Amino acid sequence: MFNIFSPSKIFSITSRATKYVFAIFILIISVGLIEALFLSPKDYIQSDSVRIMYVHVPAAWISLGIFSLIALLSISILIFKNKTFSLIAKSLAPSGFIFSIIALVTGSIWGKPTWGTWWAWDARITSMLILGLFYLMYIVAWRVISPNNANKVTSIIAIIGVVNIPVIKFSVDWWSTLHQPSSINILSKSTIHHSMLVPLIIMTAAFALFSLLIFLMKYNTELIKIKNKGLDRL
């Protein structure tokens, strides 16, 4: 059923795709940075500090997306016992973790001029911090737990952690927080002007490409590690 996910088939794609993804990433991030830092307009209330949005928001989106994907793969790992899924989930974690850190740090930097504080125990910020801790637990579990049990333990961590995702998303609606309600909606009309939406989409695409690049490199590393063990057994 999962023949298309055989390691050799995936490796033949991932080993070749890295350099192309890297080239496209450099191109898109260059355009995104020019748009975000120089061409996009400043906000009428927040002035130029609004430009932090172009790194903060995509980092938060990608971090949430990657964790959701890891949780989905983890459910599949527990059901189908597919080892390729665990390799994919494990390889996705480093970029997701870095993006959660970027979202927290840039959010803190943005908070100072906007709210007058670096940190507040606000529902959105706290739930985002919890996501960062779940990423950390997930990565540490792969390192410290024996290979036989790591699959199961990391899957359980991801499945428990995914409960936090809707909390992050809807925290601004459920509680009174410092964060404003969502400006970009898929189902209803977005309240953000297209002159700000375009750089935001470009930066999101660049960040997604970066996480794809890191995923490809990490996946190749993990696969070669397995093959190295195979050579030892020959």
Partner 1 sequence: MINEIILMNGYGLYVWSAFCFTLTSFVILYYVIKSQLVKEQLKFKNKFSNLVIDKADKVKVQEAYKEILSNTSAYKI
Q: For binding to partner 1 (CB under 8 A), which residues are involved?
A: 7-9, 11-12, 15, 33, 36-38, 42, 47-49, 51-52, 55-56, 59, 94-95, 98, 101-102, 105-106, 109-110, 112-113, 210, 213-214, 217-218, 220-221, 223-225, 227-228, 230-232, 234
| Partners of 47 in beta bridges | 43
Q: Please state, in angstroms and as integers, the Cα–Cα distance from residue 107 to each residue in 149, 166, 228, following that order.
A: 36, 19, 42
Residue 27: CB minimum distance to partner 1, A: 15
Residue 52: CB minimum distance to partner 1, A: 5
Residue 34: CB minimum distance to partner 1, A: 12
CA dist., res. 193 & res. 184, Å (int): 10
CA dist., res. 130 & res. 123, Å (int): 11
Residue whose entry in the numeric block shows the structure tokens 């795709």: 17
Write out the two tokens for 86.
Answer: 């665990």
Residue 48: CB minimum distance to partner 1, A: 4
Residue 98: CB minimum distance to partner 1, A: 5
- CA triplet 23, 212, 91: central angle to 5 degrees? 135
Sign of the Cα pseudo-torsion (160, 165, 168, 170, in order): negative
Residues contacting residue 169 through CB under 8 Å, at least 6 positions apart: 64
Select 64 or 98, whichever has its Cβ closest to partner 1: 98
Select 78 or 178, whichever has its Cβ closest to partner 1: 178
Select 94 or 165, whichever has its Cβ closest to partner 1: 94
Select 29 or 162, whichever has its Cβ closest to partner 1: 29
Select 11 or 170, whichever has its Cβ closest to partner 1: 11
